[in-house]
Structure 1
Amino acid sequence: MDITDFYDTFFEEAEELLADMERYLLELDVEDPDAEQLNAIFRAAHSIKGGAGTFGFDVLQKTTHLFENLLDHTRRGELPLRRDIVDTFLETKDMLHDQLDAYRNGSEPDQEAFERICRILQQLALEEIGQDLEGGGAPAPAPVEAAVTPPAADPEESSPASGGAADGGRLIVALLGVGDENRQLLVEELGQLGEVITQSGDAARYEVELETTAGADDIEAVMCFIIEPEQIEVRAAAVTGEAPPAAAAAPAEPPAAAEPAPKKAPPAKPKPKPAAKGATESTSIRVSVDKVDQIINLVGELIITQSMLDQTASELDGVTNGSLVNGMNLLQRNARDLQEAVMSIRMIPMDFVFSRFPRVVRETSSKLGKEIELVTEGESTELDKSLTERIIDPLTHLVRNSLDHGIEPPEQREAAGKPRTGRLTLSARHQGGNILIEVIDDGAGLDRDRLLAKARENGLNVSDAMSDDEVWQLIFAPGFSTAKEVTDVSGRGVGMDVVKRNIQGMGGQVQIMSTPGEGTTIRIVLPLTLAILDGMSIKVGEEMFILPLSTVLESLQPAREDLYAMAGDDVVLKVRDEYLPVVAVHEAFDVAGARTELTETIAVIVQGEGRRYALLVDDLVGQQQVVVKNLETNYRKVPGVSAATILGDGSVALILDIAGLHRLSRAKKEARRPQHALADESPLSRKEVETP
């Protein structure tokens, strides 16, 4: 068995430990630190150090060794905490993350950065506790076995492994309740860590005597990637010619080492992870995301096949084929249940996203000299894993903008009768088939007049008659910013166009609500997953298209008196005093056989990129859930189309991109315009209007 087989497992667990470490560090009260949090931070560093030493990741092992020693002084009360010390610990955590990424990518960590963080930790130890973490001057290679021995008062950290067995030599490794197949693999792995002298026992307790230079902590770190911590014990082996085991082990091991294992194992075993994680390890497994995606694709194909069979069965006589129809109905229910169950595997709580922001808020507010309270709501709300990873960057930008330009400085807040401490709220909740993520600040709000003035200065076509919603959307214009000076934190508007494009690329949209003097709310509306879609089937000519149901507002048959011609070929539809651009789907996609008389079509009112449009179609077929297929991956990017799906009859239907369809329609009209008569030839030309 190759030890590199466990690299990925180590990297994933180390990532989780570092995330836990950051969370505990941010939650620490420097005036009265919680002992359990300090112990959890220490255990995280201890576990990473053990694994790094075992896998030969020297730089990571040496850094965590220094950090672990410093954390040990902290939890013993020998190093009083201050905000700047916690900042140093957070910087160390970031350095560990960078080193982990380097090893994951098959390269060596930055040596200069490693030496710098070692100097910082050493200097902190010398100044605060008057001790050298290494017992020498410059950072030197720390031997794998030089682990910090936790204080005896901490039962979670005490174990025979951290006693006499910690320095290697001849050890007894006991495997408890391990099956034959795994036991053989573990013995082979132990053989790579040293020389196996003897082995004996049964499935209940199998002991291996090992001559090794590795420490007990490192042996446990390797074994615990395969079995549970409770299934392994490590102790020093009695050497021939020494005193009886109880006397010989007295300086290094408690006499209880000779007692039956069940009496000593529970308090003796150190935990390789913070306690908060331990309770769920035995009830979960690690599965590659690629495998989950493969299952989701197969289930999608099953749903498509089921839809085809269902359509065929619906054409049969229900009386003579009753059993077949009943069986198809049962298959449909089971297939949908299976689809929902498989999709839930990819769903992870929003806490995965929100947990990153205490650090962002802490550092940004400190840099800006502001006092900010972060509140999170709806952390348990679930979203598809692929979307949670893609939403982090846009959400980070929105948070930084709210901190920089939304929430006022403490003195300004006091002058306005507000608390000195501003509040930033991150919330998530489900609404139908979507998830709503909101960034809410209680700052000064958006300034309508200032936004309009800046827009005119930038040459944008704006008017005082614009609604507030339209004015707020100006901040998403490329290069738009009302910031008086550029800072290294953010500028509300700088890069906001990228934020909007990224969110739209996930099938979402951004909404803004703002009240002067009270604050601003930026709402992101996303589909729960990109794998399935609730859609509205529409027919144009003989072609079937799918509209995302979340974009559909209403449908109606346009009356001639509500249609108005604009300059060129543009037509607008008046719906309750609002003039909507008309997009004829058959013209955009050159569909033959479609209805061309506007009053005979159906206008579907849809919303995309903050604007509303009237799509002209022949018929509304109905609502259905479809399996989304990436058209760009399987074919190429098509203007006006976001994806595709396979219908029950086996035909392919395109899923429309509302804003892209409007742009495609405008481009085709522009291309035709030189060959056309102008609007005075249109039957609607006498009712030309100017729209905002």
Structure 2
Amino acid sequence: MTIDMSQFFQVFFDEAEELLAEKEKLLLGVDISSPDPEDLNAIFRAAHSIKGGASTFGLTDMTEVTHILESLLDKIRKGEMHLTSDHVDAFLAAKDILKMQLDGHRLGTEVDLDAVGDVRMLLQSFVQDDLVPKASAAPSIAHISRSEEVQEKYHHCFKVTFKEVKEADLTLLISELGLLGRALSEKNADNQDLIVLHTNGSEDDIVAVCSFIVDADKMKIESVEVPIESAKHQPSEDELGYGFFEPLDAMFPPDEKAEQAAALKAEEEKRQAQENLVNAAKAQPKKEAEKHAATQESSTIRVGIEKVDQIINLIGELVITQAMLTQRTQDLDPVSNERLLSSVAHLTRNTRDLQEAVMSIRMMPMDYVFSRFPRMVRDLAHKLGKKVEFVTYGASTELDKGLIERIVDPLTHLVRNSIDHGIEMPATRLENGKSESGKLSLSAVHQGGNIVIEVCDDGGGLNRERILSKAKQNGLVVSDSMSDADVWQLIFAPGFSTAEVVTDVSGRGVGMDVVKRNITQMGGVVDIRSAKGFGTTITISLPLTLAILDGMSIKVGEEIYILPLGFVVESLQPQHEDIKEINGKGRVIKIRQEYLPLIPLFETFNIQPKHTDPANGITVIVEVDGKKAALFVDDLVGQQQVVVKNIESNYRKIPGISGATILGDGGVSFILDVAAILRSVR
């Protein structure tokens, strides 16, 4: 039987990407001056798991990077090396390289080998620095011989014998087992490779480590009672004094050495006891959280998004079928068909509950988006010489997966602009009586059927005069009497930028117009609030999902269209005197002292209407981006929730149409693209 390994590769790719994201999050939050041991252990476990999986699937390029990374992390978590900001920068760079290598294996994208080599050299430089002897440290360890140190530190000794192991794998095994204690290699009487391991771990720990590299049936573990001297090995550079000093054992007489060893051991036990008390106090709440997280993980499964989409499509068809049944039974006698009508009503309730439950599966927490910004903010602020405190609120707020993927780029533009244009340099902030670190926040909250996302900074705010001046240079129609809200909207004009210097961060005038266009295409709106000297807040309001739509059914001629309810302000039947003709410009309608353009939908879609006089039909007032217009239709049919079907993937793009749905009578109805219709009129 042939096993399809592709599914296992995909599982590794998904888990490795999650581990890399978690590793980056932990590194960005670590306290360099006093790192939490649990955080260091978690970072180490992430690197170790990625290395194990990469080794299992033969991804040697990732194994080589993670091996050096793991060695450094192991030294840091054991207290053999102090964590520095340079370490964090190097580990973050290594994370980027591993992500690039992962994408190379999964997606076939190009891997920059020069960048890989640079990071490996950077990590190796830390290893080399740690090997440089420190004269001041020599007396503190000189009194303990290597054999005594190992015997006192480790309580178990195992002999692990391997069959038919490759030399490269043996080297990797020695390195892996070395993480459990002290590993030394030799040959047995049958010329088989074996490793003598002094450790405080168990046989299960050895199996867990080795199983990434060799099969369990090709290894044998024996517990032995032998002193360290019985294991044949070459003395290390440490034991030989790095070639510059005499062996440390020769520097002290046996009696003096024993006394100093006992004193040092007592001091070490005292220090260790104090450290254990501190660590226990720190770790207690975190262990409870990890216990809860483990319980949560055990109750979840990984499901492909295509399966979820298939279920949602089937539920959509069920909703349509249920609507058909409801419409077919409307004309039945309620007395003679009571049981049938009761069953249909029950089916309607169950269908709605099932629909809401299945739609919730597509919902993802905003943390999926928010988690990618701390690293970007850190790197960009460092590049610009600014200090930025980044905080998030409402990361657990859920949004449809399709919208989450599309909101990433607009938010990225807004966050970068806040750092580049909004937050001032530290010196400028101090001069203005602010703290030298600017604050940038990203929040998400549910409001009714929408999600509201805000990007807020406490920087210098938008410059009204500079925006107006730039708008005039670009030929935009502006006036000094414009309200602040209208002035702020000018920054969304194509090609608009107030940056005095063009850099790779901003200043080319591309981005903000794309932000607004993308948000509008998702059925959302964007708003700006700003105060000079106090900062800027950009608010985005989006529907929770695009798969289900609350709409108003309108009739034009014999056609029924769906008008998204979110754009509807009101509907009315106008009077003749309220309709005015503008020569060559069409008609407008007067609504409470405000003149709005009148858009006859029968002209937009070139169909024969029931009414050509607006006074005989219905006018629906709609609003997009603060701009209003009046749609002239024949009749209002009703309000209903519809399942959105994509038009472009099944046919082609139709001007003024954003999608389609199937009505209760089986007919197809188009969903109006209100924003596109209003743009065409303007």
TM-score by length of 1: 0.77
After superposition, the C-alpha distances for 1:185-229 in whole angstroms (9 at most, x for unaligned) are: xxxxx9x965xxxxxxxxxxxxxx6126xxxxxxxxxxxxxxxxx
Is 1:324 equivalent to 2:340 in the alignment?
Answer: yes
The offset of 1:425, in angstroms, is: 1.2
The match for 1:160 is: 203
* Alpha-carbon distance in structure 2 between the residues aligned to 1:332 and 1:248: 76
The offset of 1:246, in angstroms, is: 6.8
Is 1:58 equivalent to 2:92 in the alignment?
Answer: no
* Alpha-carbon distance in structure 1 between the residues aligned to 2:550 and 2:225: 73
Contact (CA 8 Å) 1:69, 1:148: kept in 2 or not?
Answer: no
The match for 1:183 is: none
The match for 1:671 is: none
Is 1:449 equivalent to 2:465 in the alignment?
Answer: yes
Task: Find the residue that maps to 1:147 and give its secondary structure.
Answer: helix
Task: Find the residue that maps to 1:411 and give its secondary structure.
Answer: helix
* Alpha-carbon distance in structure 1 between the residues aligned to 2:475 and 2:201: 70
The match for 1:80 is: 82
* Alpha-carbon distance in structure 2 between the residues aligned to 1:566 and 1:415: 56
Is 1:210 equivalent to 2:226 in the alignment?
Answer: no
Q: 1:107 to 1:528 in 2, by over 3 A?
A: closer
5 Å-filtered alignment, 1:172-211, equals 194=215, 210-211=217-218
* Alpha-carbon distance in structure 1 between the residues aligned to 2:455 and 2:508: 14
The match for 1:294 is: 310
Structure 1: any 5+ residue segments left out of the alignment? 132-139, 169-189, 195-208, 213-235, 239-244, 253-270, 667-692
* Alpha-carbon distance in structure 2 between the residues aligned to 1:351 and 1:159: 38
Is 1:410 equivalent to 2:401 in the alignment?
Answer: no
Is 1:586 equivalent to 2:602 in the alignment?
Answer: yes
The match for 1:563 is: 579
Identity %: 56
The match for 2:43 is: 41
Is 1:597 equivalent to 2:606 in the alignment?
Answer: no
* Alpha-carbon distance in structure 1 between the residues aligned to 2:218 and 2:373: 48
Q: 1:247 to 1:507 in 2, by over 3 A?
A: same
Task: Find the residue that maps to 2:329 and give its secondary structure.
Answer: helix
Q: What amino acid does structure 1 have at the position aligned with 2:217?
A: L
Contact (CA 8 Å) 1:630, 1:643: kept in 2 or not?
Answer: yes
* Alpha-carbon distance in structure 2 between the residues aligned to 1:87 and 1:342: 42
* Alpha-carbon distance in structure 1 between the residues aligned to 2:178 and 2:596: 72
The offset of 1:403, in angstroms, is: 0.8
The match for 1:217 is: none
Higher Cα Rg, which structure: 2
Q: Which moved more, 1:79-88 or 1:32-41?
A: 79-88
Task: Find the residue that maps to 1:571 and give its secondary structure.
Answer: strand
* Alpha-carbon distance in structure 1 between the residues aligned to 2:169 and 2:467: 58
Q: 1:237 to 1:552 in 2, by over 3 A?
A: same
The match for 1:382 is: 398
Contact (CA 8 Å) 2:177, 2:206: kept in 1 or not?
Answer: no
- Which residue, out of 518, 523, 544, partners 2:560? 544
Number of residue pairs matched? 571
The offset of 1:362, in angstroms, is: 0.9
5 Å-filtered alignment, 1:108-119, equals 109-119=111-121
The match for 1:101 is: 103
- Which residue, out of 67, 86, 92, partners 2:69? 67
The offset of 1:7, in angstroms, is: 0.4
The offset of 1:543, in angstroms, is: 1.4
* Alpha-carbon distance in structure 2 between the residues aligned to 1:149 and 1:366: 37
Structure 2: any 5+ residue segments left out of the alignment? 134-167, 183-199, 232-286
The offset of 1:468, in angstroms, is: 2.6
Structure 1 runs, 4 residues or longer, greater than 6 Å off = 248-252
- Which residue, out of 2, 19, 22, partners 1:20? 22
Q: What amino acid does structure 2 have at the position aligned with 1:83?
A: S
The offset of 1:569, in angstroms, is: 3.2
The offset of 1:571, in angstroms, is: 2.4
Contact (CA 8 Å) 1:582, 1:613: kept in 2 or not?
Answer: yes
* Alpha-carbon distance in structure 2 between the residues aligned to 1:407 and 1:488: 17
Q: 1:113 to 1:159 in 2, by over 3 A?
A: farther
* Alpha-carbon distance in structure 1 between the residues aligned to 2:589 and 2:64: 70
Task: Find the residue that maps to 1:550 and give its secondary structure.
Answer: helix
Contact (CA 8 Å) 1:3, 1:55: kept in 2 or not?
Answer: no
The match for 2:300 is: 284
* Alpha-carbon distance in structure 1 between the residues aligned to 2:338 and 2:205: 71
The match for 1:203 is: none
The match for 1:632 is: 648
After superposition, the C-alpha distances for 1:6-32 in whole angstroms (9 at most, x for unaligned) are: 000000011110110011001101111
Q: What amino acid does structure 1 have at the position aligned with 2:176?
A: A
The match for 1:687 is: none
The offset of 1:390, in angstroms, is: 1.6
TM-score by length of 2: 0.78
The offset of 1:164, in angstroms, is: 7.7
Q: Which moved more, 1:9-18 or 1:594-603?
A: 594-603
Q: What amino acid does structure 1 have at the position aligned with 2:129?
A: E
